Amino acid sequence: MPYINKEKDYVIEFAIKWPISFDSLWGRGYNSPLMSGQQRLPIELDPFRMAEQGRQFSSPVRIKQFKRLLPLLESDEGNVDVELQFEVDEIGMRILRGHLKANLILQCQRCLAKMDYPLESDFHLAIIQSDGEVERLPETYEPLVVESTPMHVLDVIEDEILLSIPQVPMHGENDCIAQPTKDKTELAEQHANGETKENPFAVLEKLKKDH
Ligand SMILES: [Zn+2]
C-alpha cells in the first residue's frame, strides 16, 4: 500500500536537499562569525530564547507550504532556501536576520504568460513583544511583534516573501509577448480604483499597507 502523505498546514515539509551551503546563501555582506551550529528550521520556536542563544537555522522549505503565496504563483514546485540568524545586538535588541532565495514563477500582468522571478531577499527584524515597543525602535529596524510564543516561523518567512514580490509583475518590454498597450501608470490607476480587485496581487497591496 502506498503511503499517502496528507499535508497539513502546520507541518513544514522539508526538501531532501539539505544541508545547503551557508556561504552561498548569505553571500557577500553578511558577516557571520560562526558557521557551525546551524540547525534545521523547526515548525515553531520561541524567538526570544533563540536570540539569546544566538541560534542559526538553514533549510529549504517547499513552496507548497506557503498557502498565502500560492494564489500569486503559476507553479508551486520548488523550494525557498531559508537562512535565519537569531541574535542579540549591541544595544540588547533581539534580532532576526534572514535570507531567502527562490525562483518563483509569477504571471506577467501585461501578457498573462508565465515569468521567472528570481527572489533574493534579506530582512532584519527587531523582535518585540507588543506594538507599544515599536516607537522605541531605532529607525533602521523593522518590527516583528511576537505577542505569544511559540511563534509559527513560516508565517514570518511568508510575509517577507510577499513583501518582496512586485505588486504588478511584468516582463521587460523586450521580453513580453504582448504589446505594451497599457503603461504602468494606467495599471497603477486601475489598481488604485480597485478595478483589479479579483487580482490575487491585491493581497500584496494590503500586506504592504499593513506594514
Ligand atoms: Zn509579459
Q: pLDDT tens across 172-194, in order?
A: 888 898 865 555 556 566 666 65
102 and 79 in contact (C-beta within 8 Å)?
A: yes
SS3 112: coil
Ranking 4-18, 36-50, 158-172 by mean pLDDT, the lowest is 4-18
C-alpha cell at 87: 541574535
Question: 107 C-alpha to center of ligand 1: Å?
Answer: 8
Phi and psi angles of residue 146, each rounded to the nearest 5 degrees, phi first: -120, 100
In a domain, 84, yes or no: yes
Question: 127 C-alpha to center of ligand 1: Å?
Answer: 39
Percent of the chain with pLDDT over 90: 55
In a domain, 80, yes or no: yes
For residue 46, pLDDT beyond 60: yes
In a domain, 73, yes or no: yes
In this predicted model, which residue has the larger pLDDT, 53 or 5?
53
Predicted confidence band of residue 145 (pLDDT cuts 50, 70, 90): very high
H helices then E strands: how many in the chain?
Answer: 5, 8
**DSSP annotation of 199:** S
Question: 157 C-alpha to center of ligand 1: Å?
Answer: 28
**pLDDT score for 24:** 39
pTM of the entire structure?
Answer: 0.69
Give me the domain span that covers residue 206. Answer: 22-210
Question: 56 C-alpha to center of ligand 1: Å?
Answer: 39
* Alpha carbons 117 and 23: distance in angstroms, whole number: 22
Question: 169 C-alpha to center of ligand 1: Å?
Answer: 9
* Alpha carbons 43 and 38: distance in angstroms, whole number: 15
**pLDDT score for 198:** 54
In a domain, 13, yes or no: no
**pLDDT score for 194:** 57
In a domain, 191, yes or no: yes
Question: 113 C-alpha to center of ligand 1: Å?
Answer: 6
In a domain, 148, yes or no: yes
Nearest-10 crossing angle of helices 153-164, 202-210: 110
**DSSP annotation of 56:** E
Question: 174 C-alpha to center of ligand 1: Å?
Answer: 9
Comparing CA positions, the residue from 128, 146, 148, 153 lying closest to residue 138 is: 128
- What's the number of domains the chain is made of? 1
